[in-house]
Every structure is written in structure tokens, then in C-alpha cells.
């Protein structure tokens, strides 16, 4: 079957983005990516992906905006409270046995999960021995993560999530209200580093004891999922932990054998000792 | 029966979903050759009972859809709560936690639009009872791609807004009773 004109243009646009800006979206799930690019096409008032490609190549102000369509940035503090409860109850006891800890939040978006883990680790008395790496490909998201300011109207949800995750303190201890936003305490990112890293193009950068990468793999095709999980495997120390999204699994992964289920319902895996 | 060979069925339902699905799906035999992709609007609670409720009532296998799973016949795939369900070009399923579309996640429109693209004329889209307008744009996309649209007769639906909106967007879709929809689904695969 011949590709439709739109499919040809779609692939060419991804190729143009790769060559010009070194962002590789070729391994992303097509259905979702195409949907978002169509929204972008509409937003930029372009008739076709070819027209959008022309804009992206010749107007350098377009790409940063386009990037926010290409990456999905939907997150919350303590999103899926049961996941954080499982980290607290089942993973933290293992983490306590390490004199120093490194945690990688891959695809950290605007930092919600990094701050959530920082709060959890403070509550558990592990903060001082831990470094948290929050990585993402979107510089604007990383800037927001660095700033740690979130819309005030999201705070009730975050507070409820934190409570349901087994939080031992009050979320309000960690932010102050200013300019209509909730500004999170700078001390929470004393042990956090936000940086640019692509699961599609970059390599392992540290040995870590916990990787949390939730609702990121679903945007990748199977080959790219395998690449990403391979990075997690190589990055994790022996018996390290991997947490993925509630509806993600390593079931179809090339690296499934390297992990065993640790908290099955919360999709927390442990790297086998012999890998 | 003339027309292109049907390769898949996509169904969207909201308020009154369980009642409608419980009439249609139990009619399908265990070896029904087509996949049936279903989006039901549910509260975003991760442990939904919908799959197990339907499993008890159906002969055809029912499961919650998994990301990047290959779509096969004889299976009802339910979108998990709080995730969009999409069909990839290579006819695998994808999940997505992108923003709700017109307040819904999963969104019927998102399933229908991506399935229309993957299956073209080989798709039957069905809009059942519901109190919003999700599915209308999606059914339009299915019909535009040459597929067939069926809608539960609004006067027989527990909530008629969704069937009404679908028929308005897609006047060529056929309004049917649940029994007629089940019969249609059996008819398109020929005598067994």
C-alpha cells in the first residue's frame, strides 16, 4: 500500500526536526504524535505538514513552541498515590541500606515527580544521602522544574495525592503562595539536578538505585521502548528498582528477563542480581 | 454482503454503557473473527470492574487493552480508565495519558479517529448511550474514511445525547436497536 501524502510529509517533518534541531521523534508512537502534530499544524495556521516543516526550518522561534506539542506534559505531585505508597513501604527499606543514593526520574516534565520524591525522602530521613536526577528533552519544562512554581488551583489535588500516598507531613509545609502560584521550597532541590537527556539519543550518565519513568514509554514504539529500558537496566545498580506507569509493563520488552516484578500492581520492578 | 471486508469494530459508550454493552457483546461467539475496541467513560479509578463484569457475561474474550499489544480477532479490548486508547498504523494498540479531549479520558473520538486511519473502510464504528457528545467527531472520521457508522436509537438509549450528537455529525449512520446492532455485527462476518 502506498503511503498517503500526509504520511510522507509527517515522516519528512520528523526528519527535518532531527537534522535541524537534533531531536529524534522517529521512534515515537505514530498515532499520538500525529494527533499532536495536527494540533500544532492548526495552531500555527499551516495547511499541511510541509508548510509546517517550512516554518520550522526557516523560523527559529517556531521550534520551541512546537516542542511543547511534541512532548506530552501531563503530571501531578504524587500522581497515582498508591505508587508512592509502594515506594515508601517497599522500596525505601532497601534504599536505607545504601550509604549514598542516586535516583533518576526520566521524562520529568515540569518536575512534579522529582519534588514528590524529594518530599518523600525528607519524610523518610533519606534526603541528605540522595541525589535526584530529573531529565527531560524539553528545555522549557526543565526551566519550570527548576523554578518549582505550580498553579495554585492544582494544589488541592496534589495535597490529596500526597495524603493518600501515606505522606507524613503536610504538603503546605513545602510551599508558599505567591503571585497566584505555589512556590515550592528551594531546599527541596538542594539534592536535585535537572538536565537535558534524551532516551532516544543519549547514553547512561550515572549508576542509580531507582529509576522512575512513568507514562513516558507509552509514547514510544517498541524499538524505542527497548532502547529506553536498556538504558535503565544499564544504569541501575545490582538489585536496583524501576518504576513505570500504571498501565505500562515490561511484558513485551527485550529486557524483560533482566527484571523481576517487585510490587506488581504498582509496576515496580527489581533488576535481577545476575544481570 | 457487499462492500469492503470489515477488519475491526470500535465502540464508544458513556452513561448507560454497561446496560448497552451487556446486550450486544454477549451475542458475539467465542470465535468471533473481529477485534472489538471499546471506550467507556469511567471514573479515573485505576481498578475498574468493567472488564470483569463483561467477562462474566460474554463468550468472546474480554480484556483491558495493553500498550503496544497486537490486535487480534475474537477479543474485546477495553480502554483502561484514565488513558486514551489509540490504534497504530501497524494495528497495535497504544495508550496515552495526554490531556482529556472534551473532558474525557479515555476519549471515544480519539479511538475512532485513530482506528479510522488504521482501518479505513474496514471499520464499523458504534456510538451507544451517553450524556455528552463524545464520539460524534470520531464517527464522522470513520464514515469519511469509508467505514460504517451505527448508532443506538436515541429514543431507546438510557442517555440520548451521545447518540443524537453522533447522528447529527454523521447523518449517514444507521440508528438501530441494540438487538439490531448485535445482529449486524454477526451478519458482517457471514454465517459461521
ipTM: 0.91
Residue B3 lies in a domain: no
Domain of residue B39 covers 8-187
| Mean model confidence pLDDT for chain A | 96
Question: If we measure between CA atoms, which residue out of A189, A74, A188 comes closest to residue A141?
Answer: A74
* Residue carrying C-alpha cell 479511538: B111
* pLDDT tens for each residue of A8-31: 999 999 999 999 999 999 999 999
DSSP state of A159: H
Which residue in chain B has the smallest CA separation from A250?
Answer: B67
Cα(A44)–Cα(B78) distance, rounded to whole angstroms? Answer: 35
What's the whole-number mean pLDDT along residues B38-50? 83
- For residue B95, is it left (φ>0), alpha (ψ between -120 and 50) or beta? beta
Which residue in chain A has the smallest CA separation from B83?
Answer: A247
Residues in chain B: 192
Are residues A247 and B83 in contact, defined by beta-carbon separation less than 8 angstroms?
yes
Segments making up each domain of chain A, as ranges? 5-70, 81-271
Give B29's Cβ-side CA count (13 Å radius): 10
- Residues contacting residue A173 through CB under 8 Å, at least 6 positions apart: none
Residue B73 lies in a domain: yes
Residue of A26, A29, A31, A263 to mutate when probing chain B, most B C-beta within 10 A:
A31
pLDDT over 50 (residue A123):
yes
- Confidence band of B191 (pLDDT split at 50, 70, 90): low
Residue of B95, B109, B119 to mutate when probing chain A, most A C-beta within 10 A:
B95
- Residues contacting residue A42 through CB under 8 Å, at least 6 positions apart: none
Query: Other CB atoms closer than 10 Å to residue B117's CB: what's the count?
Result: 23
How distant is the Cα of B157 from the closest Cα of chain A, in angstroms? 31
Which residue in chain A has the smallest CA separation from B87?
Answer: A31
Residue A33 in grid coordinates: 504524535
Cα(B35)–Cα(B37) distance, rounded to whole angstroms? Answer: 6
What's the gap between Cα B131 and its chain centre? 16
For chain B, say whether A247 makes contact (Cβ under 8 Å): yes
CATH architecture under which domain A81-271 falls:
3-Layer(aba) Sandwich (3.40)
Residue B192 lies in a domain: no
Residue A213 bridge partners (DSSP): A244
Residue B167 lies in a domain: yes
| Mean model confidence pLDDT for chain B | 94
**What pLDDT score does B54 carry?**
96
- For chain B, the domain total comes to 1
pLDDT over 50 (residue A215):
yes
Q: Looking at chain A, which runs of residues are DSSP E strands?
A: 101-106, 130-136, 149-151, 175-178, 181-184, 192-196, 208-213, 236-244, 259-263, 268-271
* pLDDT tens for each residue of B75-86: 999 999 999 999
CATH number at residue B26: 3.40.50.180
Smallest Cβ–Cβ distance between A31 and the set B46, B69, B114 belongs to B114
Residue B63 lies in a domain: yes
- Confidence band of A1 (pLDDT split at 50, 70, 90): low
Residue B80 burial class via C-beta count within 10 angstroms: exposed 0-12, middle 13-18, buried 19 and up: buried
Amino acid at each position: 500500500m502506498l503511503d498517503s501524502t500526509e504520511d510522507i510529509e509527517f515522516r519528512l517533518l520528523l526528519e527535518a526536526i532531527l537534522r535541524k534541531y537534533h531531536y529524534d521523534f522517529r521512534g515515537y508512537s505514530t498515532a499520538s504524535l500525529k494527533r499532536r502534530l495536527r494540533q500544532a499544524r492548526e495552531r500555527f495556521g499551516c495547511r499541511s505538514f510541509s508548510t509546517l516543516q517550512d516554518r520550522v526550518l526557516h523560523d527559529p522561534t517556531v521550534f520551541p513552541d512546537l516542542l511543547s506539542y511534541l512532548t506530552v506534559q501531563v503530571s501531578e505531585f504524587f500522581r497515582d498515590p498508591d505508587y508512592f505508597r509502594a515506594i515508601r513501604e517497599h522500596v525505601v527499606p532497601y534504599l536505607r541500606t545504601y550509604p549514598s543514593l542516586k535516583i533518576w526520574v526520566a521524562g520529568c516534565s515540569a518536575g512534579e515527580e522529582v519534588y514528590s520524591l524529594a518530599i518523600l525522602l525528607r519524610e523518610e530521613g533519606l534526603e541528605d544521602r540522595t541525589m535526584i536526577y530529573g531529565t527531560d528533552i524539553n528545555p522549557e519544562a526543565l526551566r519550570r522544574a527548576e523554578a518549582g512554581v505550580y498553579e495554585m488551583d492544582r494544589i488541592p489535588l496534589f495535597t490529596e495525592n500526597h495524603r493518600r500516598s501515606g505522606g507524613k507531613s503536610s504538603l503546605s509545609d513545602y510551599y508558599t503562595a505567591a503571585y497566584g502560584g505555589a512556590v515550592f521550597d528551594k531546599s527541596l532541590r538542594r539534592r536535585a539536578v535537572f538536565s537535558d537527556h534524551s532516551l532516544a539519543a543519549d547514553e547512561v550518565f550515572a549508576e542509580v538505585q531507582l529509576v522512575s519513568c512513568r507514562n513516558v514509554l507509552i509514547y514510544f514504539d517498541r524499538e524505542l521502548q527497548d532502547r529506553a529500558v536498556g538504558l535503565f537496566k544499564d544504569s541501575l545498580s545490582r538489585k536496583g528498582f524501576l518504576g513505570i506507569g500504571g498501565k505500562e509493563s515490561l511484558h513485551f520488552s527485550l529486557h524483560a528477563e533482566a527484571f523481576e516484578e517487585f510490587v506488581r500492581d504498582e509496576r515496580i520492578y527489581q533488576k535481577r542480581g545476575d544481570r | 454482503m457487499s462492500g469492503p471486508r470489515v477488519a475491526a469494530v470500535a465502540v464508544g459508550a458513556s452513561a448507560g454503557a454497561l446496560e448497552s454493552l451487556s446486550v450486544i457483546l454477549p451475542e458475539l461467539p467465542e470465535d468471533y473473527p473481529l477485534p472489538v475496541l471499546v471506550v467507556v467513560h469511567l471514573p479515573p479509578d485505576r481498578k475498574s470492574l468493567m472488564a470483569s463484569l463483561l467477562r462474566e457475561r460474554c463468550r468472546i474474550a474480554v480484556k483491558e487493552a495493553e500498550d503496544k499489544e497486537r490486535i487480534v480477532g475474537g477479543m474485546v479490548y477495553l480502554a483502561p480508565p484514565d488513558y486514551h486508547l489509540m490504534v497504530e498504523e501497524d494495528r497495535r494498540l497504544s495508550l496515552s495519558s495526554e490531556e482529556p479531549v472534551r473532558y474525557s479520558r479515555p476519549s471515544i473520538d480519539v479511538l475512532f479517529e485513530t482506528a479510522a486511519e488504521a482501518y479505513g473502510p474496514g471499520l464499523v464504528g458504534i456510538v451507544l448511550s451517553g450524556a455528552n457528545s463524545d464520539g460524534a467527531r470520531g464517527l464522522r472520521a470513520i464514515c469519511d474514511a469509508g467505514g460504517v457508522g451505527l448508532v443506538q436509537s436515541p429514543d431507546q438509549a438510557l442517555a440520548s445525547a451521545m447518540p443524537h450528537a453522533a447522528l447529527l455529525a454523521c447523518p449517514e449512520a444507521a440508528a438501530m436497536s441494540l438487538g439490531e446492532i448485535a445482529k449486524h455485527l454477526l451478519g458482517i462476518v457471514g454465517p459461521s
